[in-house]
């Protein structure tokens, strides 16, 4: 493994050097724009893309699209700049369910193209014969079920008056609305002009330096630009009846009018978070940091779309107890957006590094107690998942291989917390000061570039370990990245983090009573810890008592409400069904929705009919990300 890592490092460095030389000669009209290198080593190849970036690659995307709310599609043109070797006359893009009307060069001369066979989830290669042209224009529209896009009816919004559009690109969904090379290792700058019917406002994951223009027929066009090369999964769009409130000099929040004050109050610390993140790991390089709080059907907690983090409204608890989510998405501005996993087998580079960084932001802003608690909570969850999968199962390795390396392979969540745990362990061994200097320099050395596990380890060895054999042995780097389970040197969270809660949980297990005054003073993490530590089997009487004493059904904290509903359904507690139904009818966040349906389905004759009945009513309101998972749980014959 060691030799492999070194070889990869040499290969990669050579490739990068070659690419940089290329860049110098390929000056675009924008003097400052960067063309990012492609890593051409084997471990950086992306099996979920048809593109052959070493031969011909997209460097810039220019979109001119109309949002059509009646027909639920986007239509218009994508103009692509291609960087290709001399003599290369074709370029391959990734598309899924797009209707292509024409492909031309920049002058409008038709180019021939062919659509290859579609593969499940991956879509089709679109092979374009461009000759010696290096600009192509594709006229197209998205299909009726474009997986990235969710078209909401007014009833699914807080205001209830206007339709809404939101997108989710990661990991491989953007090919359902943008014809480009949809691979995280192929960075592209982009521009967009998007028209939408009044009074809707459009936002994207790029800066908007121009007022919207009236384009007739009751429509306005909005302009956006991302002048830094980004992975294509980071192109995102939302449109609706939304308004903006500034939070600080470079940050603000978009959301529906009735949500604005609540959202802004929950996000008051954003500017401080950016400052804290910069103090930790260097300058924020993207200009603005805005967020949009979406309708509750958004399938994730958050998505780190550059300059415009997308957030679920379910993080709003009223007391800012769930803003670790914001720290997380902000941290991706370094880990993920600046330095990006070259393919999905190294998702941990994005998610694990970000989870570590998130915790450091929380510590800086809110202190060690909250940070240690959140760490301990996540660590316990990770240990449980590792135990469920078996500590010899490869799905628990950081670098995923084979089937586990699918774009969704990281969904078990292990890569998040094991990745964070890895970096906490390295930090503890080398010391915080040294570690922070190295991590900041890693982001800096690889800014606007893809990265692999091998590259990460090579960099760590070169710039942190520096040949210290004793240190190398202590760190167990290869075990952390390539082996399943948790290495023996893992730094365990401070057991004191939850001393009081764990004692109360133990007490409850034997006496079935809990001091509600304790609960009242606990933090959100402490309450979640308690709910996770309660006995798995509880009687209806005990559940009623808990709900009554702790106010669980009425909790404004969705993490707590979810944990409660899951516990109640696990115990076939009928009085919780109406609240579960209400929750599932409004919230589309997969992390909540999928486990609740799974729990119901596990309750045989009691829960299966309930799950099927509820899902028949709620499915239409979920994003494809959520239905993709829940269909398998509820609709598949079992």
Contact positions vs ligand BES (CB under 6 A) = 170-171, 300-304, 324-325, 328-329, 332, 351, 416, 591
Q: How far apart are CA 541 and CA 141, in angstroms?
A: 56
- Closest to 236 (Cα-Cα) out of 285, 292, 196: 292
Binding site partner of 325, from ligand BES, Zn ion, none, Cβ cut-off 5-8 A by kind: ligand BES
Q: State the minimum distance, in angstroms, from the CB of residue 407 to ligand BES.
A: 7
Nearer Cβ to ligand BES, position 382 or 584?
Answer: 382
Nearer Cβ to Zn ion, position 451 or 546?
Answer: 451
Pairing of strands 289-293, 308-311: parallel
Q: State the minimum distance, in angstroms, from the CB of residue 378 to Zn ion.
A: 13
Across the beta sheet with 213-216, the strand order is 98-105, 135-142, 73-84, 56-68, 188-197, 219-230, 213-216
Nearer Cβ to Zn ion, position 105 or 329?
Answer: 329
Binders of Zn ion among 347-376, rule CB under 5 A?
351, 354
Binders of Zn ion among 67-126, rule CB under 5 A?
none
Q: State the minimum distance, in angstroms, from the CB of residue 412 to ligand BES.
A: 11
Nearer Cβ to Zn ion, position 61 or 439?
Answer: 439
Site for Zn ion (CB under 5 A): how many residues? 2
Q: Where are the alpha helices (DSSP H) in 367-467?
A: 368-389, 414-430, 432-445, 453-460
Q: State the minimum distance, in angstroms, from the CB of residue 336 to Zn ion.
A: 7
Nearer Cβ to Zn ion, position 356 or 448?
Answer: 356
Tokens at 69, concatenated: 């709310």
Nearer Cβ to Zn ion, position 142 or 354?
Answer: 354
Q: State the minimum distance, in angstroms, from the CB of residue 337 to Zn ion.
A: 10
List beta partners, residue 317.
Answer: none
Nearer Cβ to ligand BES, position 157 or 340?
Answer: 340
Q: Tell me which of 289, 356, 416, 573 is the catalytic residue.
A: 416
Binders of Zn ion among 160-199, rule CB under 5 A?
none
- Closest to 81 (Cα-Cα) out of 91, 71, 69, 94: 91
Q: Tell me which of 256, 329, 351, 559 is the catalytic residue.
A: 329
Give how far the C-alpha of residue 99 lies from the chain's centroid of Cα atoms, to the nearest Å.
27
Annotate 304-338 with b (16+ C-beta within 10 A) or e (fewer). bbbbbbbbbbbbbbeebbbbbbbbbbbbbbbbbbb
Q: State the minimum distance, in angstroms, from the CB of residue 96 to ligand BES.
A: 16
Cβ-Cβ contacts under 8 Å for 255 (sequence gap 6 or more): 242, 243, 263, 292, 293, 294, 313
Please say if 416 is a catalytic residue. Answer: yes
Q: How far apart are CA 2 and CA 6, in angstroms?
A: 6
Compute CA distances 636 → 334, 470, 534, whole Å: 40, 52, 31
Helix (H, G, I), strand (E, B) or coil at 140: strand
Binding site partner of 170, from Zn ion, ligand BES, none, Cβ cut-off 5-8 A by kind: ligand BES
> What residue is closest to ligand BES based on CB?
301
- Closest to 174 (Cα-Cα) out of 93, 233, 238: 233
Q: State the minimum distance, in angstroms, from the CB of residue 329 to ligand BES.
A: 6
Binding site partner of 254, from Zn ion, ligand BES, none, Cβ cut-off 5-8 A by kind: none
Nearer Cβ to ligand BES, position 241 or 559?
Answer: 559
Q: How far apart are CA 7 and CA 454, in angstroms?
A: 9
What stretches of 85-159 adopt beta strand conformation (E)? 90-95, 98-105, 113-115, 124-129, 135-142, 149-152
Binding site partner of 591, from Zn ion, ligand BES, none, Cβ cut-off 5-8 A by kind: ligand BES
Beta carbons of 171 and 304 less than 8 angstroms apart: no
Q: Which long-range contacts (CB under 8 A, 24 or more apart) does 577-582 make?
A: 577/610, 579/553, 580/614, 581/614
Nearer Cβ to Zn ion, position 208 or 378?
Answer: 378
Q: State the minimum distance, in angstroms, from the CB of residue 583 to Zn ion.
A: 23
What stretches of 443-535 adopt beta strand conformation (E)? 449-451
Binding site partner of 289, from ligand BES, Zn ion, none, Cβ cut-off 5-8 A by kind: none
List beta partners, residue 128.
Answer: 91, 113
Q: State the minimum distance, in angstroms, from the CB of residue 591 to Zn ion.
A: 12
Q: How far apart are CA 179 and CA 194, in angstroms?
A: 16
Mask of contacts with Zn ion, 332-351, x by CB under 5 A?
A: -------------------x
Please give the residue ranges that form the binding site for Zn ion (CB under 5 A).
Answer: 351, 354
**Active site residues per annotation:** 329, 416
């Amino acid at each position: 493994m060691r030799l492999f890592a070194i070889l990869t490092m040499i290969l990669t460095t050579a490739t990068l050097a070659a690419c940089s030389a290329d860049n110098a000669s390929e000056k675009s009209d924008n003097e400052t724009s960067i063309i990012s290198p492609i890593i051409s080593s084997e471990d950086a190849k992306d099996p979920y893309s048809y593109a052959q970036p070493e031969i011909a690659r997209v460097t810039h995307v220019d979109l001119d699209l109309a949002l059509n709310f009646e027909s639920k599609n986007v239509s218009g043109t994508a103009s692509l700049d291609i960087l290709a070797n001399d003599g290369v006359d074709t370029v391959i893009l990734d598309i899924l369910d797009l209707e292509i009307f024409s492909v031309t060069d920049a002058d409008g001369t038709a180019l021939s193209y062919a659509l290859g066979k579609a593969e499940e989830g991956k879509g089709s290669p679109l092979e374009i014969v461009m000759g010696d042209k290096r600009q192509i224009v594709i006229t197209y529209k998205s299909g009726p079920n474009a997986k990235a896009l969710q078209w909401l009816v007014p009833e699914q919004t807080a205001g209830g008056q206007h339709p809404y559009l939101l997108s989710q690109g990661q990991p491989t969904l953007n090919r359902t609305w943008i014809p480009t090379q949809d691979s995280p290792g192929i960075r592209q700058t982009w521009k967009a002009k998007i028209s939408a019917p009044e009074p809707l406002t459009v936002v994207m994951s790029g800066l908007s330096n121009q007022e919207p223009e009236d384009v007739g027929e009751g429509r306005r066009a909005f302009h956006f630009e991302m002048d830094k090369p980004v992975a294509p999964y980071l192109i995102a769009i939302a449109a609706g009846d939304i308004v903006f409130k500034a939070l600080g000099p470079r940050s603000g929040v978009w959301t529906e009018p009735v949500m604005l004050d609540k959202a802004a109050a929950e996000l008051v610390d954003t500017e401080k978070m950016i400052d804290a993140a910069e103090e930790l790991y260097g300058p924020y390089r993207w200009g603005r940091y805005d967020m949009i709080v979406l309708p509750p059907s958004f399938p994730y907690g958050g998505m780190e779309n550059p300059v415009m983090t997308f957030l679920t409204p379910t993080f709003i608890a009223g007391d800012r107890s769930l803003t670790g989510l914001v720290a997380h998405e902000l941290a991706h501005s370094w880990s993920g957006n600046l330095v990006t996993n070259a393919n999905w087998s190294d998702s941990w580079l994005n998610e694990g590094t970000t989870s570590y960084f998130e915790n450091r932001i929380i510590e800086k802003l809110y202190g060690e107690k909250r940070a240690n608690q959140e760490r301990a909570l996540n660590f316990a969850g990770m240990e449980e998942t590792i135990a469920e999968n078996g500590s010899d199962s490869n799905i628990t390795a950081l670098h995923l291989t084979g089937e586990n390396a699918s774009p969704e392979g990281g969904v078990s969540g292990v890569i998040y917390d094991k990745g964070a745990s890895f970096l906490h362990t390295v930090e503890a061994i080398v010391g915080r000061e040294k570690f922070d200097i190295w991590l900041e320099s890693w982001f800096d050395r690889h800014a606007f570039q893809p990265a692999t596990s091998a590259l990460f380890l090579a960099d760590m060895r070169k710039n942190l370990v520096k040949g210290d054999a004793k240190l190398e042995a202590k760190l167990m780097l290869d075990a952390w990245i390539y082996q399943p389970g948790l290495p023996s040197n893992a730094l365990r969270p401070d057991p004191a983090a939850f001393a009081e809660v764990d004692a109360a949980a133990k007490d409850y297990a034997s006496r079935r009573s809990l001091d509600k005054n304790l609960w009242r003073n606990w933090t959100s993490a402490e309450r979640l810890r308690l709910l996770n530590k309660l006995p798995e089997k509880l009687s209806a009487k005990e559940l009623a008592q808990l709900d009554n004493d702790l106010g669980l059904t009425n909790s404004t904290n969705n993490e707590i409400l979810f944990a409660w509903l899951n516990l109640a359904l696990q115990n076939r507690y009928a009085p919780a069904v109406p609240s579960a139904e209400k929750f599932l009818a409004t919230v589309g966040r997969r992390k909540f929705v999928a486990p609740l349906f799974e729990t119901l389905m596990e309750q045989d004759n009691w829960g299966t009919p309930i799950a099927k009945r509820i899902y028949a009513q709620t499915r239409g309101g979920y994003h494809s990300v959520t239905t993709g998972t829940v269909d398998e749980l509820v609709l598949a014959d079992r």
